[in-house]
């Protein structure tokens, strides 16, 4: 007995049912089956690859948006820092000007006294204070004289 797929010795093709048309039909069926299997594989692979490409595009868009947001935050933070430095510089310059003015008034007391004397608001107060000081001095002198 012959193995399957082998011809028995002395058998002819038409005796085994393996004529050329049957072989051609079997080859065509086999080719169609292979083509169908390949197409099925390609379709599933394409669906998977399309999904992967879509996910990749989505992730790239999210990362791009996040980078833009980060850049705008950095710009705002930089601007805030520059504003803080500028404000500190202005405060420092103003303090220096006030310090210069205070030092100028310490060394030029006569200008301050002249301004106070010219101001009518303080004129009466200064006169009253001077009169009170003079009265106190006279009173003190009288008490000392009486005791002596």
* Cα separation, 134 vs 56, whole angstroms: 96
Scanning 108-119, the segments in alpha helix (DSSP H) are 109-118
The mean pLDDT value for 14-37 works out to: 76
- Sign, CA dihedral 38-39-41-42, equals positive
pLDDT of residue 94: 77
Given a contact cutoff of 8 angstroms between Cβ atoms, the answer to whether 8 and 16 are in contact is yes
* Extents of the domains making up the chain: 109-148
Report whether pLDDT(1) > 50: no
pLDDT of residue 148: 60
Q: Is the pTM of this model over 0.85?
A: no
The mean pLDDT value for 132-146 works out to: 83
| pLDDT tens-digit map of 63-79 | 999 999 999 999 999 99
pLDDT of residue 47: 77
**Residue 110: which pLDDT band, with cuts at 50, 70 and 90?**
low
* Cα separation, 131 vs 119, whole angstroms: 18
């Amino acid at each position: 007995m012959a193995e399957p797929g082998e011809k028995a010795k002395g058998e002819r093709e038409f005796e085994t049912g393996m004529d050329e048309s049957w072989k051609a039909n079997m080859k065509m069926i086999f080719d169609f089956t292979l083509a169908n299997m390949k197409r099925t594989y390609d379709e599933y692979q394409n669906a998977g690859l399309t999904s992967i490409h879509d996910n990749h595009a989505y992730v790239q868009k999210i990362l791009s948006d996040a980078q833009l947001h980060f850049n705008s935050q950095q710009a705002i933070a930089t601007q805030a820092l520059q504003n803080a430095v500028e404000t500190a510089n202005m405060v420092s310059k103003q303090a220096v000007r006030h310090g210069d003015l205070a030092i100028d008034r310490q060394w030029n007391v006569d200008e301050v006294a002249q301004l106070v004397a010219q101001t009518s608001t303080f004129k009466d107060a200064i006169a009253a204070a001077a009169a009170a000081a003079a009265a106190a001095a006279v009173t003190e002198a009288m008490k000392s004289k009486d005791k002596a």
